[in-house]
Each structure stands twice: as C-alpha cells, then as structure tokens.
Amino acid sequence: MVTPRQIAFETTAACLETRARTGILKTAHGEIETPVFMPVGTQATVKGVRQDSLYRELGARILLGNTYHLFLRPGHEIIRELGGLHRFMSWPGAILTDSGGFQVFSLSERRTISDDGVVFRSHLDGDSHLFTPESTVDVQLALGSDILMTLDECTPYPSPRDYAETSTARTIEWARRAMTHFRQRMESVSTRHALFPIVQGSVYPDLRQSCATQLADLDADGYAIGGLSVGEPRPLSMDMVDAAEPRLPRDRPRYAMGVGMPDELPEYVARGIDMMDCVLPTRNARNGYLFTRRGRLIIKHSRFKADPEPIDDHCGCPTCRTYSRAYLRHLFQAGEILYATLATTHNLYRYLEIMREIRDAIRSGTFPQYLAETRSAANQRVE
C-alpha cells in the first residue's frame, strides 16, 4: 500500500555534474521553491523582523519554529486554542517545527534518556517534563506545523563509537514510533501535515548510511540530516551529508539541519540538499557581523563612522536601499533596537538571495561555475 503524501515535492531541474536540483515543495500554506533557506523563528518570531516584512519584502515562504521553546512558553495548548501557530504569529507561509530534541540535549543540564523518551528540566524554571516520540508529534500537531520532525537524540561532538551506535539505534526506533503515531493521528485530522525522520550517526559514515537506509523504509514525505554543526569540523559535516544522502529517496525533499555559512550553502546543495536553516544570519546581524558579496563586514569598525555607502552596493534589500554604514554603525554603538531590525533584514535578504542565485544557476546549467566561483572567493572577507 502506498502511503498518501501529505505534501508534494516535484523536481524541476537538475545539475548534471553535481547532485544539485531545483524543485517545488507544495504545502497547505503555499508552494516553496527549493533549494530553500528557512529563517529561524525559534519562539514564533524571527528576532527583530516583522512577519509581513519577511514575507513581502524578503520573499521568505517558510519559517522554522521550535517545539521545545513553544512547549514551555506559552504552551502548545494555548497556541492551539488561539488557532494554531500560523494565526498566533500572523504568518501566511509554511512552518516547519523542530521536535525539540536538540534543545533538550543542549539547554537542559539535567536529563534522563531512556528508550521511552527523555525526561528533562526546563531551562526557564527547572520544572520536569517528558518528551516521547508520540508526545512531540502531538505537540507539533497542536501547533499546526506544516512539517513536523521526529524526536531524535542529537549526539555531541566528539562521541565514542559505542555511544553513537546506541544513540542512532534509539533515534531509529523513536522515528518508527513517531511515524506510527503520526499516521494514526492523521486518520482523524483534516488538515495537511508531514513528518520528517532525522538521520543521525555522529561522525561515523557507516552509522549514517545504516540510519538513512532504515529511515527510508518508513516511506516518509521527506527526510532530515541532523547532528550537524555541533562542533565538528565543517568538512566533516559535509562528509556526513555525503554518506547519508545517497541512501535517502531521491523523490523526497532532504533537509540539512542547522547549516551554514554563506559560502557553505551551495556546497550542501551540491550534495543533494533541498532545505536548510541556521541562526547565523540573524545572530551574526545582532552582533554586528554583516554578510556581503565580498565577505563579512564588521560594522563596529571605526572606518565606517562616516561611511555614506550602504552595507553592500550590490544589495537590493530595504536596509541597503535606505541606510548608510555610518548610520548602522551609530545605531549599533548606541545600542538602538532599530539596528537589530535593519541588520537582520539585510543578512536574511543576503541568504535568501544566495538561494535565488543557486536556483537560477541550476536552471541555467551554470551551477558548477557558480560553485567554483564561491569556493575561490570563500576565504575573502571584508572586515
């Protein structure tokens, strides 16, 4: 029996020299061109930017929210009562929610992991909570996410081989339980949702391959590769994608979680990745690091004190069309809230523009040249 698809994915172009491709991801809240970068709205907001600006000015069509944070505050039942996450945050596009597994392992110092799930203490008030594969599905359905993620155990780097083996086996079993529960719930749910299992395996290629193979048997609507950007060298992260990607169904979207720097985005696309997210553009913006076509610009440097030029004279974002480096530096030095909005708008625009460039290059057959040019310029930085 073929499992009915809750979302649809169609490949529209492919690179002959790499595994890069373009596609259309069709959700209940609109169609999304892939490869796509998803801005991170951890607590139902992308820090510093209004939802209407993200959608209309920047062209974002899918955001990422976080189950762990929304479960703790304001609570998934409150969000359900208020009409779901889309209505709660007034976002017209699609929403993908992480299961909260990464935050449980990174934010909760006291936790107990078993085959049943994980007991953890809130980083807010110390209260004890239990996440299971089934409960995290229920929370995400209450949020109304278009794309849900299965609960996984995100292993730290480095991890001993025996621990990674146990953890990977647990992640696979949790994914099976989550998928069974999700399909049972969908029999009585009229709205459309999809559940993506997450490939783990630390930095052991054979564990990644085995995990991907077993998760592929679940016939999910899409797949994620997790446990990246947890301290491992960047080339090793890409090696793990190389290990897992060939084992995942080619006709489903693939999502690399928590990546990456601007010059890394085409590298993941070249390895067959369709979806990415990362806090780097927003976090770096707030800390004074702005991404341009020529590299990174650190706005606090004194040479920008009287600079009338925009952040990037080739950028079409609202910030660059209106404000100077001198003004942005003044806002940053003065600690003005407006700085975070203007800087974040620029960095997100740059990331989304890179994805538009990548899609255009794939469609025009010039992606290998684009990739080569990105690699040659990767070490150039404007600071």
Question: CA–CA separation, 52 vs 60, rounded Å?
Answer: 10
Task: Identify whether the C-beta of residue 221 lies closer than 8 Å to the C-beta of residue 211.
Answer: no
How far is 56 from 68, CA to CA, in rounded Å?
28
Residues facing 190 on adjacent strands: none
Rg (CA), the chain: 20
Cis amide bond preceding 35, omega within 30: yes
The residue from 146, 221, 274, 277 that is catalytic is 277
Specify the 3-state DSSP secondary structure of 137: helix
Q: Which residues on neighbouring strands pair with residue 113, listed in sequence order?
A: 118
Q: Please tell me which residue in 98, 146, 221, 274 is annotated as part of the active site.
A: 98
The count of residues in the chain is 383
Kindly give, in sequence order, each residue whose CB lies less than 8 Å from that of residue 363, ignoring residues fewer than 6 positions away: 12, 13, 22
CA distance 287 to 274: 28
Decide if 127 is catalytic: no
Q: Which of 247, 192, 185 is nearest to 30 (CA)?
A: 192
> What DSSP designation does 56 have?
I
For residue 73, give Cα distances in angstroms to 42, 201, 272, 297: 11, 31, 35, 35
Three-state DSSP class for 26? strand
CA distance 99 to 93: 19
Q: Residue 33: which H helix or E strand, with range?
A: strand 30-34
- Phi, psi of 262, deg, nearest 5: -55, -45
277 carries an active-site annotation: yes
Q: Return the active site residues.
A: 98, 277
